[in-house]
C-alpha cells in the first residue's frame, strides 16, 4: 500500500487542524514541516503539502526551511498535492498565496502534481471545509 504524508506549516493551529483532517480522510500521517527531512519525503509515495498564508501571500514561517528540503529532494515517481488556508475577505488578492510558492518549490523536483489546489477559508467559510476536503481527497486518487 502506498504511503501518504500530509506536511503542514501552522502558526495558529488552523493549518495543523486541516492537515489532521485531511490525513484522517486518507489514512495518512500528518508531519509538521519543522520536523521535515529528506528521509521523510523519500519514504512517502504520496505527499500533500499545506501552508497558511501570511502577509502579502507569504509562506508560514517554518516553511522557509521546509521549502529548501523539498527543493533538494528527488521526488521523481511521487505524487504531490497542495492545500492552503487563508482569509479571502481580508486578503482577497493574496488568498492562499502560499500554495503558489509551494507549487513552485515542487515543480523542479520531478514529482507529479495531482489535483487542483485546495484553498480553504476557516475564517469566513468554516461550514464549507468538510465538503471541500471530502471532494478534494476523493479526487486525488491516493
pLDDT, residue 69, reads 97
Asked if pLDDT for residue 49 goes beyond 90, the answer is: yes
Phi/psi region, residue 57 (left: phi>0; alpha: psi -120 to 50; beta: rest), is left
Average pLDDT for the chain? 95
Is the full-model pTM beyond 0.85? yes
CATH number where 23 lies: 3.40.50.360
Asked if pLDDT for residue 1 goes beyond 80, the answer is: no
Asked if pLDDT for residue 32 goes beyond 80, the answer is: yes
| Enclosing domain of residue 93 | 4-134
- Whether 141 is in a domain gets the answer no
- Whether 95 is in a domain gets the answer yes
Q: How many residues does the chain have?
A: 142
pLDDT, residue 108, reads 85
69-105 per-position pLDDT tens digit: 999 999 999 999 999 999 999 999 999 999 999 999 9
pLDDT, residue 56, reads 87
Angle formed by the axes of helices 63-72 and 97-107, nearest 10°: 20
Give the total number of structural domains in the chain: 1
Q: How confident is the model at residue 142 (pLDDT cuts 50, 70, 90)?
A: confident
End-to-end CA distance of the chain: 10
Amino acid at each position: 500500500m502506498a504511503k501518504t504524508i500530509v506536511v503542514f506549516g501552522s502558526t495558529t493551529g488552523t493549518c495543523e487542524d486541516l492537515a489532521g483532517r485531511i490525513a484522517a480522510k486518507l489514512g495518512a500521517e500528518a508531519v509538521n514541516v519543522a520536523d521535515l527531512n529528506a528521509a521523510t519525503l523519500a519514504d512517502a509515495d504520496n505527499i500533500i503539502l499545506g501552508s497558511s498564508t501570511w502577509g502579502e501571500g507569504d509562506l508560514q514561517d517554518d516553511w522557509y526551511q521546509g521549502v529548501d528540503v523539498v527543493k533538494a529532494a528527488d521526488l521523481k515517481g511521487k505524487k504531490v498535492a497542495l492545500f492552503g488556508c487563508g482569509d479571502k475577505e481580508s486578503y482577497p488578492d493574496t488568498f492562499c498565496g502560499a500554495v503558489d510558492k509551494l507549487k513552485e518549490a515542487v515543480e523542479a523536483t520531478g514529482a507529479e502534481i495531482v489535483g487542483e489546489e485546495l484553498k480553504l477559508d476557516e475564517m469566513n467559510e468554516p461550514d464549507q471545509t468538510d465538503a471541500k476536503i471530502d471532494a478534494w481527497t476523493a479526487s486525488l486518487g491516493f
